[in-house]
Structure 1
Amino acid sequence: MSASHPAGLTEQDVLLALKGVQDPDLKRDLVDLGMIKDIRITDQLLELTVNLTTPACPLKGKIEADVREAIGRNLGNARELRVNMSADVRGKGVIEKGDIPGVRNVIAVGSGKGGVGKSTLAASLAYGLQHYGSKVGLMDADVYGPSVPHLVGASGRPMAKGERIQPIEANGLKLMSIGFLVKPEQAVIMRGPMLHGIVNQFLHQVDWGELDYLVIDLPPGTGDVPLTLSQTLPLTGAVVVCTPQEVALLDATRAVAMFRQLKVPLLGMVENMSFLDPPGGGDRMYPFGHGGARRRAEELDVPFLGEVPLVFDIREKGDIGLLHETLAEGSPSRPYLLGVVEALAQQISIRNLKAPRMPTLEIIS
């Protein structure tokens, strides 16, 4: 039974007033989802908190407006209304074999071919999720071409603490890459079983701590590493990066097919190098065509997360190890990258609500 409050208003009254207000992405009632918290009622004030499923929620403003409208309509405006917006990133809700303790969501970023900016996008997604206040790790599983350390300006050799490997940190992002373990000019040559061991060690022997998201940069193509990941732990889902031209889309289609065969949910596709705005002004250019990834995503029934233009700022910042600065105020790439990040966070929340359990991997001989 709800406790009574001044003028007879109760917490139950507030919850009833908010029944029917939905999260637009999750298509569920905020009250049913347990997102209404910390209701406080006095003679002059009604205060409550809306606890979102991700701090990167793109519809935060609409949800707050809907809550305010419902309170005013159902309870009147006799008190000052204070709506606090918070977020608590949710995982899939169940513990499964292979889960990394403390890590709520694991996102694989892949591509059908090299040269599409996959590693740059993986690191940008990690920094973008962190930008909104989440705890994020980035694992470089592109063993043959480990570019993440260079992109984020990280160096050093991971140290062991007890039986756990301590990740390298760069601007608050927890990192692990074979690039920290070999010389920059050294070629990495290893067969499948060695790859399997490296990936397993990075996943389960690294002290990742408490993370909302662990982003994994996969090697391009459809080789051993995605298979190892699928067998090793339940992935929240995968993102496929491609460029607009047809040859890249053909390979991206194969990547989508691979993830589906491995029973990994598709969180979405991103079109990278989508267009170019000349620095001195002039008409927008489409060096590789335009819109191909959006059309292919629709054909494959995969969410489309957005376009990232061919921006010199991304290349320049990545080259000098300052990729996080692409998200700074005034950066030309910022709105596009944050748009993709918000769409990705949205899809992760939807995935965790609708399908809390991962299916068992089936290997067809």
Structure 2
Amino acid sequence: MAEMTTTVNPPTAQQVRAALERVQDPEIHRSIVELDMVKSVEVDAHGTVDVAIYLTVSGCPLKDRLAQDINEQVTALGGVESVRIEMDVMSAEQRQALQAKLRGGRPEREIPFAQPGSLTRVYAVASGKGGVGKSSVTVNLAAAMAAKGLKVGIVDADIYGHSVPRMLGIEGRPTQVQDMIMAPDAFGVRVISIGMFVPGNEPVVWRGPMLHRALNQFLADVYWGDLDVLLLDLPPGTGDVAISVAQLVPNAELLVVTTPQQAAAEVAERAGTIALQTRQRIAGVVENMSWLPCPHCGEKVEVFGSGGGEAVAEALTVATGAKVPLLGQVPLDLRLREGGDRGEPLVLADPDAPAAEVLRGIADRLTTRARGLVGMSLGVSPVAR
């Protein structure tokens, strides 16, 4: 008895477009259909599907990944024998329209996080001096937040000592669409850094006005999307960048990183009290390198002393008149440094490590407040009766 075969009809062009709605641009993270990147779709009677796509720029570094995603979604449809993908490039007018769509009608050069309606929590991670692990804390907090499903971004505002891209394993350069910059991402975290624009390990030799201009461009010209949290990794001290952050994003809250030793704590306290002049809120203090577990007996070895983080939190509470909590004490862990060198945050590589658990706890405390209208200017004036 002959076996019966079932013939599956090829999909319609409309069904193919519906499948393409599930394909996201790898840099913008929005549907290629929504972004008007689908040029045409044709399906013949034999099940061959021809898809023509507009790339945002010529030589798009992620075009192979985009083609793979398109192929996976289309071949999943019944009746598809093969998929042929043609890549075209957007015209200047199409890129201009895309930029306008991404900005959502906002004027150019506007910083979205500084607007009264912004729901993004902005944390400026500060320290009094270098070497306290501020960038390691920033990267691991961002990765922990993204792992919870939040949309997170990092501005590597430490222009002279940029290190965030290495710590997240980012080697690619940003793509530019007209006047808008597409920030690379890793582990669900969007990142922008001056290190992505300078060749090799070339130093950045700039004065104040250039630093301010670069920070403004990172905040206004980068496409960030609808972020839940933005972290700014500030340079040590209370110099130009810290002042620029207060001017450009006045609603940014300070997160002060210190080590237990008193000398570092005194300097960190100075970094925190800048909030008195800039009228910023201090979200809390993180004490890094708090202790080292003895490899033989497991006892805590306080390599850098103790009490520094608590002292900074108490001093800032007195200075500002508002409670400044000690959010956590992160122990010394070789794996934290190794993860940074390897480009893989400890909170993801070894989430059960003591340092990772503390960092995840700090991330939880910083993100427990739901996005809402608290602290926003609603543009409402009292009416006299």
**Which TM-score band (shorter chain)?**
0.5 to 0.7
Q: Aligned residue for 2:85?
A: none
Partner of 1:114: 130
Deviation of the 1:357 alpha carbon: 4.8
Question: Where does residue 301 of structure 2 map in the other structure?
Answer: 285
1:264 CA displacement: 1.1
Q: Which residue of 2 aligns with 1:314?
A: 336
Q: Distance in 2 between matches of 1:135 and 1:215?
A: 11
- Match of residue 356, structure 1, among 361, 376, 379: 376
- Residue in structure 2 matched with residue 337 of structure 1 by the alignment: 359
Equivalent-residue separation in structure 2 for 1:327 and 1:307 (angstroms): 20
Q: Is the 8 A contact 1:167 1:207 kept in 2?
A: yes
Are residues 278 and 220 of structure 1, via their aligned partners in 2, closer, same or farther at CA, if it must alter by over 3 Å?
A: same
Query: How far 1:297 sits from its partner (Å)?
Result: 0.6
Shift of 1:355: 3.4
Residue 254 in structure 1 maps to residue 270 in structure 2: yes
Per the TM alignment, residue 332 of structure 1 is displaced from its structure 2 partner at its CA by 3.5
Residue 144 (structure 1) aligned with residue 160 (structure 2) = yes
Residue 245 of structure 1, CA deviation = 0.5
Distance in 1 separating the partners of 2:145 and 2:113: 26
Classify 1:195/1:98 alpha carbon distance in 2 versus 1 (closer, same or farther; 3 Å): same
Instruction: Report the 3-state secondary structure (helix = DSSP H, G, I; strand = E; otherwise coil) of the residue aligned with 1:333.
Output: helix
TM-score (normalizing by structure 2)? 0.64
Question: How many residues are treated as equivalent by the alignment?
Answer: 262
Distance 1:123 1:101, change over 3 A: farther
1:104 touches 1:211 (CA, 8 Å); kept in 2?
yes
User: Do the aligned residues in 2 keep the contact of 1:103 with 1:212 (CA within 8 Å)?
Assistant: yes
Question: How has the CA–CA distance of structure 1 residues 101 and 328 changed in structure 2, closer, same or farther, with 3 Å as cutoff?
Answer: farther
Shift of 1:350: 8.5
Shift of 1:342: 1.7
2:113 & 2:352 partners in 1: Cα distance?
44
Change in 2 beyond 3 A, CA 1:324/1:160 = farther
1:207 to 218, 223, 237: 223
User: For residues 273 and 377 of structure 2, what CA distance do their matches in structure 1 show?
Assistant: 21
Alignment of structure 1 residues 1-365 onto 2, 5 Å: 98-99=114-115, 104-301=120-317, 302-323=324-345, 325-326=347-348, 328-346=350-368, 349=369, 355-357=375-377
Report how far residue 351 of structure 1 moved: 10
Q: Secondary structure at the match of 2:286?
A: strand
Q: Provide the rounded CA distance (Å) in 2 between the counterparts of 1:180 and 1:281.
A: 44
Give the structure 2 partner of residue 38 of structure 1.
none
Distance 2:117 2:177 in 1: 17
* CA apart distance, 1:98: 3.4
Q: TM-score, normalised by structure 1?
A: 0.67
- Preserved contact between residue 335 and residue 346 of structure 2 (Cα < 8 Å): no
Mean Cα deviation higher: 320-329 or 177-186:
320-329
> Aligned partners of 2:226 and 2:272: how far apart in 1?
30
Q: CA deviation at 1:291?
A: 2.4
- CA shift in 2, pair 1:309/1:267, >3 Å: same
Structure 2: gaps of 5 or more residues:
1-110, 318-323, 379-385
- The 8 Å contact of residues 259 and 265 in structure 1, kept in 2 or not, is answered as yes
**Aligned residues of 1:102 and 1:211 also touching (Cα < 8 A):** no
Deviation of 1:324 (Å): 5.1
Which has the higher relative contact order, 1 or 2, with Cα contacts under 8 A spaced 6 or more apart? 1
Report how far residue 327 of structure 1 moved.
5.8
SS of structure 1 residue aligned to 2:237: coil
Report the Cα distance in structure 1 between the residues aligned to 2:371 and 2:265, rounded to whole angstroms: 25
SS of residue matched to 1:269: strand
Mapped to 1, the partners of 2:215 and 2:123 lie a distance apart of 14
- Shift of the 276–324 alpha-carbon distance from structure 1 to 2, 3 Å rule, reads closer
The structure with the larger Rg is: 2
Q: Cα 1:238–1:352, aligned 2, differ >3 Å: closer, same or farther?
A: farther
Give 5+ residue unaligned stretches, structure 1.
1-94, 359-365
User: Which stretch shows the higher mean deviation, 177-186 or 113-122?
Assistant: 177-186
CA distance in 2, matches of 1:203, 1:188: 19
* Aligned counterpart, 1:56: none
What code does the residue aligned with 1:334 have? A
Q: Would the alpha carbon gap of residues 169 and 354 (structure 1) be closer, same or farther in structure 2, given more than 3 Å must change? A: closer
Structure 1 residue 163, shift from structure 2 partner: 2.1
Counterparts of 2:218 and 2:117 in 1: how far apart (Å)?
13
> How much has 1:100 moved relative to structure 2?
9.6
Percent identity among equivalent residues?
42
CA distance in 1: counterparts of 2:148 and 2:370, whole angstroms: 18
Change (3 A) 1:329 1:248: closer
**Aligned mates of 1:295, 1:262 — CA distance in 2:** 22
The answer (yes or no) to whether the contact 1:276–1:311 under 8 Å persists in 2 is yes
| Offset, 1:184 | 3.5
CA 1:133–1:351: 2 relative to 1, 3 Å = closer
CA deviation after TM superposition for structure 1 residue 233, in Å: 2.1
| 1:52 counterpart residue number | none
User: How many Å separate the matches in 1 of 2:326 and 2:217?
Assistant: 32
